[in-house]
Chain A
Amino acid sequence: MSYKPLILFIEDDKAIRSFMHISLEAQGYRYIDADTAKNGLCLFYSHNPDIVVLDLGLPDSDGITVIEAIRTGMNTPIIIVSARGHDQDKISALDAGADDYLTKPFSVSELSARIRVALRHRNSVLQNATTPITKFCVGELVVDYDKRRVLMQNQDIHLTPIEFKLMELLSIHAGRVLTHNYMIKMIWGNYNESNTQSLRVYMANLRRKIEIDTTKPRYFMTEVGIGYRLVDE
């Protein structure tokens, strides 16, 4: 019998918890839930779940503090759930160390897709701790870290150094949303307004070099107002 990942769902709405319980268990996950940040953290420390799904609007405390508490010692994947129009909250949660986000209302299939991505990512991180990866492959896109090359349909794509850095950053974190802030910090080291604009321009160029049709992207997903994501499947 295969290992069943344990999901901790921290959400104050009972209806959502109950259907999540049913559907996630039906999909073969083990499930525990909490209705407050405090209970959530208790369960987290006692059960050490494989993944945490966290609602940002909890009654007793800010979701960000929960993320920070978890991130002090663990890198358990955290998927946050929040209402639309709270972009800034999402960005701060992602910057605080959350791995992914979902906007309410969301469907179970969306959530389970994100859970799969997060788990896969976690597993690959666990594996790579011993054997460093040299290549990233998705669809017809190949990023070769050693040779610093990007191949698309086996064709060499010429990238500028910054474009390659972006490609590298996105592919290492494939499947996850990277906020503008985070990307700027990783590429340029410090943040200022003009860098946001530069990031857009570099990303637009990168996309145009790799995507066949930028309006129906296969690899690069733009999360408007939040950041970018490279698909991993």
Chain B
Amino acid sequence: MNDSVLKLTQNLLRGIITMCLLFIGATFLSLFFKRLGFNESNIIMVYILCVMLTAYFTEGYLISFLASIIGVMTFNYFFTEPYFSFEFYHSDYAVTFIFMFISALLTSMLTYRIRTAVKISLERERRTALLYHIGQRLIRAENASEMIDIVGQECSRILGVETVIATTASIGVTACTTKESFLLKSYQYFMGGSKQVDEKVLAAHHYQSMDAVYAQRKTVVDYKKNSNDQSMYYIPLDGQTVCYGVIGFKILDNEVVSEEKEDHTHAIASLMVMALERILFQAEQQKIELKIESEHLRGNLLRAISHDLRTPLSGILGATNTILDNFGHLDPNSMVELLENVHMDTQWLIHTVENILSLTRIEEGGIALNMQGEYIDEIIAEVLRLSAKNIQDYNIEVEIDDNGIMIEMDGQLIKQVLLNLIDNATKFTPIHSTIVISVNLQEINNMAVIRIRDNGKGIDPQALEAIFDRFYTSTNYKQESRRGIGLGLEICKAIVEAHKGTIVAYNAQDQGAVFEITLPVMEGGHDEL
């Protein structure tokens, strides 16, 4: 409390000096007026003006009161007979003195009050402007980190006080300073309108105070503990349900935070909380929308799958039922036929389930790819081995212009892509067609281009656009292979894109459809060792 007493004394001293100077000036002016033979009332006016000026330039009612008394006394001393004494001969001077004193006192009081009112209203205006300004800028802020910057910059610039904003991890701001052991994870310090990029180290007790403010959601004034320290005033950023952090302002070393300042800083804090909540709410909303969207997709997928699975399942059920019910009556040929149908349906089911599995792997919260360098010819070899049954009636040609092309990939998934494309090619072309698998190296951008070309009828130009869309199924299937939930190509696309590659489909100039996959070749992945 010593500081405030000192400040008060200082103010008083400054006021008294100002007052003395003003009175000396007024006295000389009055002496000059008297020499000129001006009326006494002019001199009274000069003194009243002097008291008024004193009130205007100094602080506090005490000085105004003093000035009024001194004014009357000086007048009495210099300008009433007998001169240079506090006595007076005319009794009506007593009345003059009283009225002079009263009017001087009232004028000075009014002056002082007006001055204070102006000062307060100016201050209020400034604060309102600040709030308005922050509010305006916060509306346009797109994320929490931007908001913190805005509030910090504006507070430190317009209020001219150093500002610290500490936030919890939950609002997702990457901190410029992080103190592991504290509850709050991001501390950002602002000074003179800009963020202090290098860590402005507050004394440890400040971090403790901030944590306490955050935990108890209560305002705290943390006075300085030693000479290098500073005093701060902390307010919790208190939201509807949770506390988002703490905002702190630097205060004078022993300042008692006024109610007005408290209101004002709380207003800033709540402004910030409102904006924060808006942004968090928006993010939450987006997340929910995304979830709804994916639920929707999932629903569609499930419907489509269930619908498409029903057909082969009924086939299997029917065939096996027939065999079970008529065992012994059936001739071997029809039994074999029924069993072949069951076999075919099962094959299809397996293929579809593989695709669905791949799709869920791709879509499950991002992509968990198991990336490894693989030689493309090894992958093709395995794909051909796996689809051996499928392609036995087709003429398969493989053209690889460099056997040493290594691509970083999830082998299982790329295998699935190639299996799907080859399966597709066999579905859309008559048996004994030629399917060419070629791999070329594009030297310019170091990409491997894998093409699956057939010599069938090609793809309906109208369908080319939609061919990679989910559930797209062609109406051009060969008679017996009636189905396909159109997942295959969509999965191919998703997988290839997850590998930072591209997949396109087009019709070859001469004949047939071409599916072209472009994948980045691994660094140094096509050098012969």
Residues of A within 8 A of B (CB): 84-85, 87, 105, 196-197, 200-202, 204-205, 207-208, 213-217, 221-225
**Residues of the A chain whose Cβ atoms lie less than 8 Å from the Cβ of B354:** 84
Q: Is the CB of A196 within 8 A of B372?
A: yes
Query: CB < 8 Å: which of B378, B410, B412 contacts A204?
Result: B378
Within the complex, what minimum Cβ distance (angstroms) separates A153 from chain B? 20
Q: Is the CB of A197 within 8 A of B381?
A: no
A215 CA to B403 CA, complexed, in Å: 9
Q: Is the CB of A215 within 8 A of B380?
A: yes
Per-residue A-contact encoding for B363-378, CB less than 8 Å = 1, 0 else: 0000000101111011
**Residues of the B chain whose Cβ atoms lie less than 8 Å from the Cβ of A223:** 382
User: In this complex, what residue of A is CB-closest to B414?
Assistant: A224
Closest 10 CB pairs of A and B: A224-B411, A222-B378, A215-B398, A214-B377, A225-B411, A215-B380, A201-B529, A215-B381, A204-B375, A217-B381
A208 CA to B400 CA, complexed, in Å: 13
B350 touches A (CB below 8 Å) = yes
Q: Is the CB of A222 within 8 A of B529?
A: no
Which label, helix, strand, loop or mixed, suits the secondary structure of the B interface?
helix
A205 CA to B346 CA, complexed, in Å: 39
A200 CA to B405 CA, complexed, in Å: 12
B63 touches A (CB below 8 Å) = no
Which label, helix, strand, loop or mixed, suits the secondary structure of the A interface?
mixed
Per-residue A-contact encoding for B425-467, CB less than 8 Å = 1, 0 else: 0000000000001000000000000000000000000000000
**Residues of the A chain whose Cβ atoms lie less than 8 Å from the Cβ of B357:** 84-85
**Contact flag A216-B381 (CB < 8 Å), given A87-B370, A196-B372, A200-B406:** yes
Q: Is the CB of A205 within 8 A of B529?
A: yes
16 pairs, A vs B, C-beta closer than 8 Å = A84-B354, A85-B361, A87-B412, A105-B346, A200-B373, A207-B378, A214-B377, A214-B381, A214-B403, A215-B380, A221-B381, A222-B379, A223-B382, A224-B412, A225-B370, A225-B411
Q: Is the CB of B398 within 8 A of A213?
A: yes
B385 touches A (CB below 8 Å) = yes
Within the complex, what minimum Cβ distance (angstroms) separates A180 from chain B? 9
Residues of B within 8 A of A (CB): 346, 350, 354, 357, 361, 370, 372-375, 377-382, 384-385, 398, 400, 403-404, 406, 410-412, 415, 437, 529
Within the complex, what minimum Cβ distance (angstroms) separates A209 from chain B? 11
A205 CA to B527 CA, complexed, in Å: 11
**Contact flag A222-B381 (CB < 8 Å), given A85-B361, A205-B529:** yes
Q: Is the CB of B382 within 8 A of A222?
A: yes
**Residues of the B chain whose Cβ atoms lie less than 8 Å from the Cβ of A222:** 378-379, 381-382
A221 CA to B398 CA, complexed, in Å: 17
**Residues of the B chain whose Cβ atoms lie less than 8 Å from the Cβ of A215:** 377, 380-381, 384, 398, 400, 437
Q: Is the CB of A224 within 8 A of B415?
A: yes
Within the complex, what minimum Cβ distance (angstroms) separates A172 from chain B? 22
**Residues of the B chain whose Cβ atoms lie less than 8 Å from the Cβ of A225:** 370, 372, 410-412
A1 CA to B411 CA, complexed, in Å: 47
Within the complex, what minimum Cβ distance (angstroms) separates A130 from chain B? 36
A221 CA to B385 CA, complexed, in Å: 9
Within the complex, what minimum Cβ distance (angstroms) separates A119 from chain B? 23
In this complex, the member of A84, A85, A215, A217 whose beta carbon has the largest number of chain B beta carbons within 10 angstroms is A215
Q: Is the CB of B374 within 8 A of A200?
A: yes
Within the complex, what minimum Cβ distance (angstroms) separates A129 from chain B? 34
User: In this complex, what residue of B is CB-closest to A202?
Assistant: B529
Within the complex, what minimum Cβ distance (angstroms) separates A14 from chain B? 16
